[in-house]
């Protein structure tokens, strides 16, 4: 069974409550779930949040949209993923993050299909290394066995907080594959982690949603070519700031 686990929580250092912010009458989390529900290669979707009271709103959104829910550790996201995968009987896990409300289901399907067709070669596949997709289309797929071993062996804060670093940092243990676009669009940022990101995401939805609620990544890229100013507010923000902060915290553990 291929299960997509979307990690989401209310608290955020840079933009508190970001997944519950609204655009076009829906929260960002609702938009994301509705888009991921259109993926054809998934057997189930689970939203994994924390046990904190403020995350009850996240659970209610997931239940309203008919997807599974799991509540676990706030900081040990690796444990949250492992326990969720175990509870729902996942054979393969698709890791998605709730700060990607423009996630294209075709991108999810592309990465999952690549992984499924190459199970004899890879334990893990993503579009996150040798990056060519816009920031906000990150999709990772890995086996339950890889997750289980990672859960047992990963010790560093960055490995527990960000779920998959132990996998791709240990090629002697795990075989990793990568999906790339024909053209590099990694300079475009359409994730939500800062107020500037929310400005960009709002602009994209306001341009495209009324005409076609199921607009694709191709539609977003066309908008980028036609109206690049919509995407300008967050272009100075560097990718993976949260992970880099965790790496700094790792040094304190050593």
Question: DSSP letters along 113-171, please?
Answer: HHHHHTTTT-SEEESSSS--S-BT---EEEEHHHHHHHHHH--SHHHHHSSSHHHHT-T
- Cβ count near 254 (within 10 Å): 5
Does the residue 45 lie in any domain? yes
CA distance 81 to 178: 21
pLDDT in tens, 62-75: 999 999 999 999 99
Residue 170 lies in a domain: yes
Burial of 181 (0-12, 13-18, 19+ CB in 10 A): middle
Query: 137 with 147: CB under 8 angstroms?
Result: no
- pTM summary value: 0.93
Identify the residue with better confidence: 103 or 242. 103
Beta carbons within 8 Å of 130's beta carbon, 6+ residues apart: 178, 180
Phi and psi at 217, nearest 5°, equal -60, -40
For 87-121, write each residue's pLDDT tens digit: 999 999 999 999 999 999 999 999 999 999 999 99
> What pLDDT was estimated at residue 250?
55
Bridge pairing between strands 92-97 and 44-50: unpaired
**Half-sphere exposure in the Cβ direction for 31 (13 Å, CA):** 30
CB 77 within 8 A of CB 163: yes
> Distance (Å, rounded) from C-alpha 128 to C-alpha 133?
8
pLDDT at 247 over 50: no
Number of domains in the chain: 1
Asked whether residue 221 is domain-assigned, the answer is no
- For residue 68 the two structure tokens come to 């599974």
Q: Which domain holds residue 61?
A: 2-188
3-state secondary structure of 51: coil
pLDDT score recorded for residue 239: 74
Assess if residue 44 is contained within a domain.
Answer: yes
Q: Which is higher by pLDDT, 207 or 17?
A: 207
Please report whether residue 225 resides in a domain. Answer: no
**pLDDT value for 253:** 53
Question: 15: domain CATH number?
Answer: 3.90.550.10
Would residue 123 count as lying in a domain?
yes
Nearest CA among 61, 8, 9 for reference residue 30: 61
249 domain residue, yes or no: no
Interval 6-49: pLDDT, tens: 999 998 766 778 999 999 999 999 999 999 999 999 999 999 99
With a pLDDT cut of 70, the percent of the chain lying above it is 93
The residue behind tokens 């290669």 is 41
Q: Does residue 228 fall inside a structural domain? A: no
């Amino acid at each position: 069974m291929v299960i997509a686990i979307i990690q989401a929580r209310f608290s955020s250092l840079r933009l508190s409550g970001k997944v519950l912010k609204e655009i076009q009458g829906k929260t960002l989390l609702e938009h994301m779930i509705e888009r991921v529900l259109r993926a054809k290669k998934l057997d189930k979707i689970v939203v994994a949040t924390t046990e904190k009271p403020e995350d009850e709103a996240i659970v209610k959104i997931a239940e309203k949209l008919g997807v599974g829910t799991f509540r676990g550790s706030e900081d040990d996201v690796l444990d949250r993923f492992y326990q969720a995968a175990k509870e729902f009987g996942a054979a393969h896990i698709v890791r998605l993050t709730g700060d990607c409300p423009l996630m294209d289901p075709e991108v999810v399907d592309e990465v999952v299909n690549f992984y499924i067709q190459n199970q004899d070669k890879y334990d893990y596949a993503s579009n996150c290394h040798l990056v060519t997709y816009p920031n906000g289309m990150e999709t990772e797929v890995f086996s339950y066995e890889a997750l289980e071993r990672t859960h047992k062996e990963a010790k560093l804060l960055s490995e527990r907080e960000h779920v998959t670093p132990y996998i791709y940092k240990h090629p002697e243990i795990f075989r990793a594959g990568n999906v790339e676009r024909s053209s590099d669009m990694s300079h475009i940022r359409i994730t939500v982690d800062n107020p500037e990101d929310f400005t960009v995401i709002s602009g994209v939805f306001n341009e495209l949603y009324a005409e076609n609620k199921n607009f694709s990544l191709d539609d977003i890229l066309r908008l980028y070519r036609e109206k690049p100013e919509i995407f300008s507010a967050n272009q100075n923000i560097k990718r993976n700031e949260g992970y880099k902060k965790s790496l700094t915290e790792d040094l304190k553990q050593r």
